[in-house]
Structure 1
Amino acid sequence: MNVETQQDIPTLMKRLGGDAKRAAAQLATTDSTAKNRALRAAAAALRTNAPIIQEANGKDMAAGEAKGLSPSMLDRLLLSDDRIEAMAVGLEQIADLDDPVGTELARWDRPNGLDIARVRVPLGVIGIIYESRPNVTADAGALCLKAGNAAILRGGSESFHSSRAILDCLQQGLAEAGLPETCIQMIPTTDRAAVGIMLTMSDEIDVIVPRGGKGLIERVTAESRIPLFKHLDGICHTYIDRAADARKAHAVAFNAKMRRTGICGATETILVDKPVLKSHFPALLNDLIEAGCEVRGDADVQALDARVTAADDTDWDTEYLDAIVSVKVVDGVEQAIDHVNAHSSQHTECIITEDAEAAERFLNRIDSAIVMLNASTQFADGGEFGMGAEIGISTGKMHARGPVGVEQLTSFKYLVRGTGQTRP
């Protein structure tokens, strides 16, 4: 349904929040069997209802094309057979994960006989605000459920019909497992006023997770009265060191940029060590350009190929989310580290090298959530980390950092057992 008048939105949001809080209280003590049954039933529903999901996605794609969305944004929106199957597999993988709730993290005894344990507990109610990627509906809802949290989802207007069809499958799974459908809810309006209200609901929502472009993240950061798991940009770097294997550098850097240009783990800047600029980079440069990538380089890179356009200072701080890459020549790993730490959004960085000492310097001194050696930055994903999926990438340093999976969607509490002790 769509809320027709703005006057209805506060009432709607209050109801969603209350329902989620009650569902979270039930989920906090729900055993793994019921949660896993819901996830597997939802995966089956995704497969059974694939034609319905694709019909809904067709409406969103047509509206997106009419609206003039970029090819990379349309790619994020598209739900192919493979992507629907990937969602279903992701739910099954999350079901296979160990349940973090109730895990004993530490336990010790005090001299006075008190027995103290630290155990994982759900966060409570998690609000997820995202834009054009409808698969986030499945990933976020499933991860919250596995970690014992209720979820309130607010997808972008571009993916409204697709997300609604996916939500129907998740709620079908909940019903089959005997859990309330309010464990996973979606705000049934595209009115932006709902987001503003959501960000003030500190009595009902425990954490907000924004996933989307810089404008969305900035708005949520400015307006939210609720703690956030977020990253502002995905300005990711791949550094080709002087000790890099040329074939490996070509394959990794090309994949890091071009596999999917519209995701936050896509490399936006390639740094090339000066001694290997003419030996390692020309073939990669040609292949990037031939694949339709616009290359913006410094003077040394421009000298290699007339098709390279001049980079300016803004390029080193830009997340393109498109087939555009900036390239800079550096002199050694120290200059690479300095550039990355100066311009990175602290998301994901990679060094390509066979020099173990250079690798360790880069890995240890880069101040980003994810730092890689000889691997594409496009592996910056909870599913690729073995987490089943992710609710997002956090570049903050409090509580969660990097891919936010089921463990990161829990907190902990202390259980203190005594035998009648009193404090003197």
Structure 2
Amino acid sequence: MTIREQAMEAAAAARKLAAVSPAIKNKALEAMADALLAEQEGILASNAKDMEAGKAKNMKASLLDRLLLTSARLADMADGLRQVAALKDPVGEIIGGCTLANGLTVTKIRVPLGVIGIIYEARPNVTADAIGLCLKSGNAVILKGGSEAIHSNTKIAAVLRAAAEEAGIPAGSIQFITSTDHAAVQELITLNGLVDVVIPRGSGRLIQAVVGNASVPVIETGVGVCHTFVDAGADYAMAEAIIINAKTQRPGVCNAMETLLVHKGAVQEFLPHMLQALKEKGVQIIGDETVCAMDKEALPATEEDWATEYGDLRLSVKVVENTDEAIEHINKYGTKHSECIVTRSFANARKFQQMVDAACVYANASTRFTDGFQFGFGAEIGISTQKLHARGPMALPELTTYKYLISGDGQVRP
């Protein structure tokens, strides 16, 4: 089928899927989890082809790690589908309503978005996550994965589609675009009337390409130039633990810290030890003049560095005059993802959380908690960095919209 034909099939299936019961959807999710494990040998063989091609292209180690599938990772993917099955179904939930003076009753309920296009790069686990979340929320899904994982994604999508349809999900609800041509993305994101929303997941370049060229509505996700600001007089042991976690626990993810800001009043007591601790973890320091004077191994920061999501063990470090300068720096260079202040001052924490423009703003906790499961939302489709229609970790409720049901007994408008 052409991409348009796939979208037409998905749109037809979405109308049926919206009325599928929670029991059938949950049965399908369980069957999909079983199928991942039953078809493990074939999935891992497909992934091995992608890994071999990635190594031949000298793909970065961090990207190869995202691409790699193992028995344990497949088990995690299956467990993720079962966890989605256990979550509350959002479709049909009453979220508001009233009775008007004329006797009309108005009820606001959650309904699926319809057809969701997911565009992503070398992360095969996204294939299972996206399918599971879209089905649970009553949406048909069209997947466009990156060429780096084409064999893995094609196999996973086929396995999950077969299991879902056998369990009662309408045929056509799960679509996977096998073309690796960039033109396929452009066609998908301009299918107005067939695709209701597109969600890009991946690099900043991918996301901006989709945002800049789509005529279909886009939910922007992912890019994370995340900061941690250490205030003067903070609990410096706490700050060190938060910084090490935020930068090194998993440096390739979007909620990892990319820039450390330090109040000038904390420099002498805190910064030398902190820089040494980071270097012991393999972090390359890229600093301003004060930092470079303190650490001869540090590289001088450029204007570009302050706006860069490294995705690896590099860290920009800057000394600021006060909380106001930290806030100003973050609002200028941040990507509205996740930001943190470490402080003993309630007033400074409150000011920081009110004035920093980001989806998630922390006081005295690592930015690595920006995650649907960590927030208690369950699995997520991504982290939205925009303000409409969703912000922060996007779980099942964010994959729905709403409509109004109005009931009367013959009222007409005078």
The 5-angstrom pairing of residues 192-271 of structure 1 reads 192-231=182-221, 233-271=223-261
In structure 2, the residue matched to 1:356 is 346
- Does 2:297 match 1:307? yes
Alignment equivalent of 1:343, drawn from 330, 333, 344: 333
327 and 367 in structure 1: CA distance in 2 versus 1, 3 angstrom threshold: same
In structure 2, the residue matched to 1:87 is 77
Q: 5+ residue gaps in structure 1?
A: 1-10
- Does 2:312 match 1:317? no
Matched AA of 1:412: Y
Matched AA of 2:350: E
The 5-angstrom pairing of residues 21-420 of structure 1 reads 21-231=11-221, 233-420=223-410
**Conserved? CA contact 1:127–1:152, under 8 Å:** yes
TM-score where L is the length of structure 1: 0.94
In structure 2, the residue matched to 1:8 is none
Secondary structure of 1:252's counterpart equals helix
Secondary structure of 1:182's counterpart equals coil
TM-score where L is the length of structure 2: 0.96
Deviation at 1:181, TM superposition (A): 4.4
In the alignment, the residues of structure 2 paired with residue 54 and residue 386 of structure 1 have an alpha-carbon distance, to the nearest angstrom, of: 31
Secondary structure of 2:294's counterpart equals coil
In the alignment, the residues of structure 2 paired with residue 386 and residue 185 of structure 1 have an alpha-carbon distance, to the nearest angstrom, of: 29
In the alignment, the residues of structure 1 paired with residue 268 and residue 157 of structure 2 have an alpha-carbon distance, to the nearest angstrom, of: 52
Q: C-alpha offsets along residues 325-382 of structure 1, whole Å, 9 cap, x if unaligned?
A: 1000112222211111111111111112232222111111111111112222122222
Q: C-alpha offsets along residues 256-305 of structure 1, whole Å, 9 cap, x if unaligned?
A: 11122221111110111222223223333223223322110112212222
Q: C-alpha offsets along residues 47-75 of structure 1, whole Å, 9 cap, x if unaligned?
A: 33333322222211111111111112112
**Conserved? CA contact 1:45–1:173, under 8 Å:** yes
Q: C-alpha offsets along residues 116-152 of structure 1, whole Å, 9 cap, x if unaligned?
A: 0111000000000001111111111111111100000
Q: 5+ residue gaps in structure 2?
A: none
Matched AA of 1:116: V
- Structure 1 stretch 35-44 or stretch 99-108: which is displaced more? 35-44
In the alignment, the residues of structure 1 paired with residue 406 and residue 165 of structure 2 have an alpha-carbon distance, to the nearest angstrom, of: 36
In the alignment, the residues of structure 1 paired with residue 76 and residue 347 of structure 2 have an alpha-carbon distance, to the nearest angstrom, of: 38
243 and 419 in structure 1: CA distance in 2 versus 1, 3 angstrom threshold: farther
How high is the sequence identity, in percent, across the aligned residues?
A: 47
Deviation at 1:232, TM superposition (A): 6.7
**Conserved? CA contact 2:201–2:222, under 8 Å:** no
In the alignment, the residues of structure 1 paired with residue 28 and residue 147 of structure 2 have an alpha-carbon distance, to the nearest angstrom, of: 27
In the alignment, the residues of structure 1 paired with residue 14 and residue 198 of structure 2 have an alpha-carbon distance, to the nearest angstrom, of: 15
Matched AA of 1:146: K
232 and 51 in structure 1: CA distance in 2 versus 1, 3 angstrom threshold: closer
RMSD after superposition = 1.6
43 and 290 in structure 1: CA distance in 2 versus 1, 3 angstrom threshold: same
In the alignment, the residues of structure 2 paired with residue 50 and residue 274 of structure 1 have an alpha-carbon distance, to the nearest angstrom, of: 54
Deviation at 1:35, TM superposition (A): 0.7
Q: C-alpha offsets along residues 1-54 of structure 1, whole Å, 9 cap, x if unaligned?
A: xxxxxxxxxx51122111101111111111111111111121222233333322
**Conserved? CA contact 1:249–1:280, under 8 Å:** no
**Conserved? CA contact 1:229–1:400, under 8 Å:** yes
Secondary structure of 1:303's counterpart equals helix
Matched AA of 1:49: E
In the alignment, the residues of structure 1 paired with residue 120 and residue 52 of structure 2 have an alpha-carbon distance, to the nearest angstrom, of: 20
In the alignment, the residues of structure 2 paired with residue 162 and residue 397 of structure 1 have an alpha-carbon distance, to the nearest angstrom, of: 33
